[in-house]
């Protein structure tokens, strides 16, 4: 009875969708559900976000304010009142799953969210977890809490895991067009999960369990982490041999089969690739397994900022300068180009390392006008304009994130020395050092 009623609501778009966590995952998902015709309640603990959204404003660059305003017009209700969870038919959890200071999974955001929601749950609801996590989280952590609250999962309450696959700034794929993986705790849960996402995502891919869905997301990101680790190691080898690794990658990419190009950089960034592999390495220990490939890739990738700093030291040394006392301008502090997302950005770690060595740091980023509040970093800085006079005033310009909005010809013309970590400048250049 509960399942049939819920399926009818979801398929008729009369269900009320609750989305918990209005960040880079939850906000675009809220907009998409509202666009598809559902009533959406968005939950977040940050009152500043709620105020901005209720005023039709955005705080994520690639999500237009017009989209927020249209969602509000369609009934999108942002709130910090979690008691309203009782009134929704679906609860989709999109909160962070970072690492602890010991590089172990930190499920506190997920578990605190679930504990906050528990008093307001009712029969006939579905809960979907989208936060990346280790296999077994949904079954071992969420299900017991829900059943302890008096519900029978698969009968009067439904539980699924459907990992987010957002790619901020990707102009080719959107929330709607990226296929969605979905695994249910029971067969009935999966049926409800497919109905939950089927009206808003073009392709929903069912898997046999929540554990399979959880591992699918980890495999996707570990695949990238390992390949980036490989190409970063190749970069170090190529640099020692005096070969431009970017030229090599571009040449290899002309092969129409058997090769997928990955590009090196100053380190890993974003909310997934630097973090997610550790969720599996941690869980694998429970089974007596040692994830050698994953851990080696993590080791290579995590040392890239130090390698870049060494290249900076060498470049300055060639000009009879030290890092201490040098004025260094960092270009791009988001974790990847053309977005404002700062999570785990290697640019910020580079800023920290250089400042610790006595450099005077400034930055320019058209997507980040002022350095935001971050848990691990604090810089009282604002983005500077890249005028010829500004560029000339720095001892070194570090190209850390290659936004398309930068004028690379002007930068090259006026900078005394450029350290390029992204391969933006091809071939030999008068004042460019590859790193």
Catalytic residue IDs: 272
Phi, then psi, of 147 in degrees rounded to 5: -70, -30
A 10 A CB-CB count for 318 gives: 10
Supply the DSSP symbol for 193.
H
Give CA–CA dist 107/410, Å, rounded: 46
Nearest-angstrom CA–CA distance, 382 and 364: 8
Give SS3 for 418.
Answer: strand
Rounded-to-integer distance, Cα 277 and Cα 286, Å: 15
Q: Residues 74-104, buried b or exposed e (16+ Cβ, 10 A)?
A: bebbbbeebeebeebbbbbbbbbbebeeeee
Task: List b or e across 366-390, with b for residues whose CB sees 16 or more CB atoms inside 10 angstroms.
Answer: bbbeebeeeeeeebeeebeebeeeb
Distance CA(79)–CA(120), nearest Å, equals 15
Backbone angles phi, psi at 62, to 5 degrees: -85, 0
How far apart (Å, rounded) are the C-alpha atoms in residues 349 and 333? 10
Distance, in Å, from the CA atom of 170 to the CA atom of 168, rounded to the nearest integer, reads 6
DSSP 283: H
Residues 195, 10: contact at Cβ < 8 Å?
A: yes
Contacts of 281 (CB under 8 A, 6+ apart): 291, 294, 295, 298
384, 317 contact by CB (below 8 A)? no
């Amino acid at each position: 009875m509960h399942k049939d009623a819920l399926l009818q609501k979801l398929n008729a778009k009369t269900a009320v969708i609750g989305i918990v966590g209005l960040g880079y995952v939850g906000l675009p998902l809220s907009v998409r559900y509202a666009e598809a015709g559902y009533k959406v309640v968005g939950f977040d603990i940050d009152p500043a976000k709620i105020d901005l959204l209720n005023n039709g404003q955005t705080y994520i660059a690639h999500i237009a304010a017009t989209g927020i305003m249209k969602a509000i017009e369609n009934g999108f209700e942002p709130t910090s009142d979690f008691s309203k969870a009782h009134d929704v038919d679906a609860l989709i959890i999109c909160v962070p799953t970072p690492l602890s200071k010991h590089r172990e999974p930190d499920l506190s955001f997920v578990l605190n969210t679930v504990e906050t929601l528990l008093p307001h749950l009712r029969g006939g609801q579905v809960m979907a977890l989208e936060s990346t996590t280790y296999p077994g989280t949904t079954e071992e952590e969420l299900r017991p809490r829900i059943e302890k609250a008096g519900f029978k999962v698969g009968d009067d309450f439904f539980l699924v895991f459907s990992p987010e696959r957002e790619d901020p700034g990707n102009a080719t794929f959107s929330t709607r067009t990226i296929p969605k993986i979905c695994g249910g705790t029971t067969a009935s849960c999966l049926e409800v999960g497919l109905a939950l996402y089927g009206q808003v995502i073009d392709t929903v891919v069912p898997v046999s369990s929540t554990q399979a869905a959880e591992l699918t997301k980890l495999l996707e990101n570990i695949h990238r982490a390992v390949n980036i680790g490989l190409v970063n190691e190749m970069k170090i080898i190529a640099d020692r041999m005096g070969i431009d690794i970017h030229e090599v990658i571009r040449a290899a990419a002309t092969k129409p089969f058997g090769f997928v190009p990955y590009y090196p950089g100053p380190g890993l960034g974003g909310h997934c690739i630097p973090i997610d592999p550790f969720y599996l390495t941690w869980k694998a220990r429970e089974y007596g397994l040692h994830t050698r490939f994953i851990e080696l890739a993590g080791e290579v990738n995590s040392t890239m900022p130090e390698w870049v700093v060494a290249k900076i030291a060498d470049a300055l040394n060639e000009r009879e300068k030290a890092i201490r006392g040098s004025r260094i301008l960092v270009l791009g502090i988001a974790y990847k180009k053309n977005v404002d997302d700062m999570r785990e950005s290697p640019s910020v770690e580079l800023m920290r390392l250089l400042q610790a060595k006595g450099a005077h740091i400034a930055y320019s980023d058209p997507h980040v006008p002022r350095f935001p509040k971050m848990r691990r970093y604090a810089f009282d800085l604002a983005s500077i304009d890249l005028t010829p006079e500004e560029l000339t005033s720095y001892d070194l310009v570090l190209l850390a994130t290659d936004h398309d909005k930068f004028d690379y010809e002007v930068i090259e013309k006026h900078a005394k020395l450029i350290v390029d970590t992204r391969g933006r400048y091809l071939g030999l250049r008068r004042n460019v050092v590859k790193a």
